[in-house]
Amino acid sequence: MVARFSRPQPQGFLAPQRFDADLLDCEVEGTIPADMDGDFVRVGGEWFYPPKFPDDAPLHSDGYISRFRFKDGRVAYKGRFVRTPRFEANLAAGRQQFGYYRNPFTCEAAVRGLNGTVSNTAPLVHAGKLFTLKEDALPIEIDPDTLDTIGQWDFGGDYKSETFTAHPKVDPTSGEMIAFGYEATGLASDDLFVYFIDGHGQVAREVRLKVPYVSMIHDFAVTQDHLIFPFACYTTSMERLEAGKVHWAWNRQLPSMIGVMRRDGDGSDIRWFKGPERCMMHVFNAYSEGDKVVLHAPFYESNFFPFFPNVDGSPWDPTKAVAYVRRLTFDLGKPGESWDEEILFPNPIGDLGKVDSRYTTLPQRYAFTNFADAARPFDEARTGMPRARITNTYGRFDLHTGAIDRLFVGDTHTLQECSFVPRRGSSEEGDGYLIGTVSNLVEMRTELVIADAQRLGEGELARLHLPFRAAAQVHGCWYDAEQLTPLAEGPA
């Protein structure tokens, strides 16, 4: 047994726990708003077995889905490993058989033909179904009540790409979901397939594109009239993969690229804009205004991931792994390949941001994300963690006035991504609640904070306390009870 777990594992708060979890009724401090009726679903990764190679990317850890179910002022918690083919094969063997992140050439021979996705990035609810997502494979369907894994989903066979984005967009005005897959026809392919999926989960239309160079397209943006595909500097090739390397490397000699195409077109009109070195991971939102397309996004200055090497051999530079709220404007009425860019707030932020999803594709005023407020205290001695690695504040960033409303969560805590919960009966942008999980680094447990999204500065409405460290989150989303059927009644 010792030999099977001899490789280094994350320590401290991120040390693997390797268990499924059920908590029938969470401990609550404060009062949960009575109109919160639904699920806060989180997806992240945890190594069930240690990585085959110690320097493998953390993005390769096994998928874990968890859920806080809200009903009548009470909350139940449930967590399950996503039982992917990789997870089941490793469990049967009792060890890690899969090699470097997204490189099947480094796997053991017995599993090289097996789907190696860990499905550990984001949840999705669409057409009454719950999925876990990762951009290297198709969605994995999950039972919405038990969180048991059902299996891979291909939309009735009409979705032809081998991959599916972790960040599909649902149009709040029509219910249409727009998704895409890059490396759509296999490893290192330059194919980008775009899909328009109706509210019943049926593929209505497909568009096939070629990208200027093979890169990670982690997120994208949708407006009422356009699609925006950003990527930059991460690149791969079959030669790289066959040489036994991790999937991505950062090549700062490549331009940042953003493709803009008509939403109702066949892709022949797509324009590829070029810009300076940026790490384009996530977006807030975008909208179209005549010939102009406006994108709000928290792009980084350079390579964000220390485990993806720079191709020139230079060391990873943490001073450039910094994100800011940016506004990018593309003028489709003018020739040229460049865009206009401005930084809207001087302070760096976390790039796992959210908007009120009812305003996706439309002009919006508010962006929500976490950041490190240097003016607030942090107890390095008690936590054993340098403050440079923590974020301690949720913020509502007003894109019109430049104001920031802040919620500080504690001097021994660090934050994960927030989510926005609309207030029932209100259609006003930003009227609702901001929720997110908090890592209590001293008590070694996970907490969930709930605040009025319009009054963050007034403090929390409630805080839930789990008696353990919940698995790490990459992305989470709130879904009202009506969006996900069947839903069990009350805590279960």
Would you write out the chain's pLDDT as a tens digit for each of its 492 residues?
334 444 556 677 878 888 999 999 999 999 999 999 999 999 999 999 999 999 999 999 999 999 999 999 999 999 999 999 999 999 999 999 999 999 999 999 999 999 999 999 999 999 999 999 999 999 999 999 999 999 999 999 999 999 999 999 999 999 999 999 999 999 999 999 999 999 999 999 999 999 999 999 999 999 999 999 999 999 999 999 999 999 999 999 999 999 999 999 999 999 999 999 999 999 999 999 999 999 999 999 999 999 999 999 999 999 999 999 999 999 999 999 999 999 999 999 999 999 999 999 999 999 999 999 999 999 999 998 899 889 999 999 999 999 999 999 999 999 999 999 999 999 999 999 999 999 999 999 999 999 999 999 999 999 999 999 998 899 999 999 999 874 344 444
How far apart are the C-alpha atoms of 392 and 298, rounded to whole Å?
18
Length of the chain: 492
Q: Tokens at residue 49, please?
A: 């077995």
How far apart are the C-alpha atoms of 286 and 223, rounded to whole Å?
6
Q: Identity (one letter) of the amino acid at 50?
A: P
pLDDT in tens, 183-206: 999 999 999 999 999 999 999 999
How far apart are the C-alpha atoms of 64 and 470, rounded to whole Å?
10
pLDDT at 9: 67
pLDDT at 3: 41
How far apart are the C-alpha atoms of 217 and 466, rounded to whole Å?
35
Show the 3-state SS of the chain: CCHHHCCCCCCHHHCCCCCCEEECCCEEEECCCCCCCEEEEEEEEECCCCCCCCCCCHHHCEEEEEEEEEECCEEEEEEEECCCHHHHHHHHHCCCCCCCCCCHHHCCHHHCCCCCCCCCCEEEEECCEEEEECCCCCCEEECCCCCCEEEECCHHHCCCCCCCCCCCEECCCCCCEEEEEECCCCCCCCEEEEEEECCCCCEEEEEEEECCCCCCCCCCEECCCEEEEEEECEECCHHHHHCCCCCCEECCCCCEEEEEEECCCCCCCCEEEEECCCECCCCCEEEEECCEEEEEECCECCCCCCCCCECCCCCCCHHHCCECCEEEEEECCCCCCCCEEEECCCCCECCCCECCHHHCCCCCCEEEEEECCCCCCCCHHHHCCCHHHCCCEEEEEECCCCCEEEEECCCCEEEEEEEEEECCCCCCCCCEEEEEEEEECCCCEEEEEEEECCCHHHCCCEEEECCCCCCCCCEEEEEEHHHCCCCCCCCC
How far apart are the C-alpha atoms of 58 and 308, rounded to whole Å?
11
Q: Tokens at residue 445, please?
A: 């447990």
- Partnered with residue 323 across adjacent β-strands are 300, 349
pLDDT at 360: 97
So where are the chain's domains? 139-483
**Of 105, 1, 115, 27, nearest in space to 63 by CA:** 115
Q: Identity (one letter) of the amino acid at 253?
A: Q
pLDDT at 15: 81
CATH 1.10.3470 given to domain 139-483: no
pLDDT at 14: 77
pLDDT at 8: 58
